[in-house]
Amino acid sequence: MDNFAPLASLDWQVHVYGEVDAELAAACARQGLDVHSFAWNENVAHADFKRDAAYLVRPDGYIAFVQPNQNATLIEAYIAERKLRS
């Protein structure tokens, strides 16, 4: 699994280690965010990622926000409050 490759885009994006919820995918599309899904496995668990959580990743590769339940409303609110998208 190469979860560093998507970071080359230098844009806001969402990473999910496991399954992407349809509601989250739709919210990300509305916000113009790419969603990258990675297979869940023991290595991911040992790295302290949470299964099926949504990680909003900043352009510099750092995690800005984690939503353990893929709550699309909270992710969109986070983006709107901080005016991250136009």
Domain boundaries along the sequence of the chain: 10-81
Q: Residue 36: CB partners within 8 Å, gap ≥ 6? A: 3, 6, 13, 14, 15, 16
Q: How confident is the model at residue 11 (pLDDT cuts 50, 70, 90)?
A: confident
Distance CA 79, CA 75 (A): 6
pLDDT of amino acid 26: 98
Sheet holding 13-17, edge to edge: 34-38, 13-17, 54-57, 63-67
Does residue 12 have a pLDDT over 60? yes
Rounded to two decimals, the pTM is 0.88
* 3-state percent breakdown (helix, strand, coil) of the chain, nearest 5: 35, 20, 45
In CATH, 10-81 is 3.40.30.120: yes
Distance CA 86, CA 83 (A): 7
Tens of pLDDT, residue by residue over 18-60, are 999 999 999 999 999 999 999 999 999 999 999 999 999 999 9
